[in-house]
Amino acid sequence: MAPHCYRHTDRETYVSCQRCGRPICPDCMRPAAVGFHCPEEGRGDSSSGGHNGGAGRPAQRDPRTVLGGRAGQARQALVTQSLIVACVVAYFLQGAPGLSSSDRYNEFTERFAMNGYQIAVDDQYYRLLTAAFLHASVLHILFNMYALFLLGFQLEALLGRVRYLALFVVGAVGGNTLSYLLGGRGTFSVGASTAIFAFFAAYYVIARRLRIDSTQILVVIGINLLITFTLSGIDKWGHLGGLAVGILVGLLYAYVPPRHARLQAGGVLGILAVLLLAALARSAALT
């Protein structure tokens, strides 16, 4: 059973206070030198943190986490909420498959889904990303939005908006690229799970770096991999591709200090460039 925040017992979380060990949600996270503290331990930090260098100098208003996220933005989760809204809007533009009697794959779905034939023949590489905003059924979007909400709030708080959004984009592209490389023209898939598997992997790497208990996320990854290889109709290569890219980006974020933001950005763009070059090479081989 997933842990719940000790103050907001209806919220699942995989982050714990680095001092007392109590599970905390994004609303309760207080940035510390390593990881986060709960509100009680955070108050202890502010009361014993030394002088501010001058009687009239204001305290730092928006401290950063050890991975570069801004504490003042941690509770907003603006990017996570925007991604969820985008997926829900796209789902209804698809004709709400599973909720209505419309064709499962309408014109909107056909236009933006991961379609290997259209990539190979018409160079529609945007599909490597746009497919992550589409879903095939009610359960599909509900499961993915729940995972996006749960992990997204915490990762956005840790990483900050830009790094977090980059992780989503590269995870989606990475998963769909591997699917295209191995599935070729016959590849057809939709879903945010490519990016979500990248979230799983990056969260694990970051948890290890911050010395946070990673047992829960390992269990989650194991269960999702079991589902991936047990149920039919799931893009296995998309999930594995997202997982692999999530590890790479997670290593960048966890072990390259956030003060070297350009180096982090260069690494992420390098991964994205390699993915696109691989897709181009696959298209050349197919045509």
Q: What percent of the chain has pLDDT over 70?
A: 83
Domains of the chain: 1-42 (no CATH), 76-286 (1.20.1540.10)
Beta strand 30-31 with 36-37: parallel, antiparallel or unpaired? antiparallel
Residue type, 158: L
Looking at per-residue confidence, does 58 or 285 come out higher?
285
- Report whether pLDDT(147) > 60: yes
Measure the CA–CA gap between 71 and 180, rounded to whole angstroms.
39
| Three-state DSSP class for residue 244 | helix
DSSP string for residues in 138-172:
HHHHHHHHHHHHHHHHHHHHHH-HHHHHHHHHHHH
| Ranges 64-73, 76-85, 176-185, 204-213: which has the least confidence | 64-73
Beta strand 114-115 with 36-37: parallel, antiparallel or unpaired? unpaired
Question: What phi and psi, each to the nearest 5 degrees, are found at residue 69?
Answer: -70, 150
Entry pTM: 0.79
Q: What is the mean pLDDT of the chain?
A: 86
- Report whether pLDDT(258) > 90: no
Q: CA–CA distance from 263 to each of 10, 170, 269 (Å)?
A: 39, 16, 10
- Report whether pLDDT(210) > 60: yes
- Report whether pLDDT(52) > 50: no
- Report whether pLDDT(180) > 70: yes
C-alpha radius of gyration, the chain, whole number: 20
Query: What residues are labeled active site?
Result: 193, 239
In the predicted model, what is the mean pLDDT of residues 200-223? 91
Residue type, 193: S
- Report whether pLDDT(42) > 70: no
- Report whether pLDDT(51) > 60: no
What is the band of 48 on the pLDDT scale with cuts at 50, 70, 90? very low
What is the band of 169 on the pLDDT scale with cuts at 50, 70, 90? very high
Looking at per-residue confidence, does 121 or 213 come out higher?
121
- Report whether pLDDT(33) > 60: no
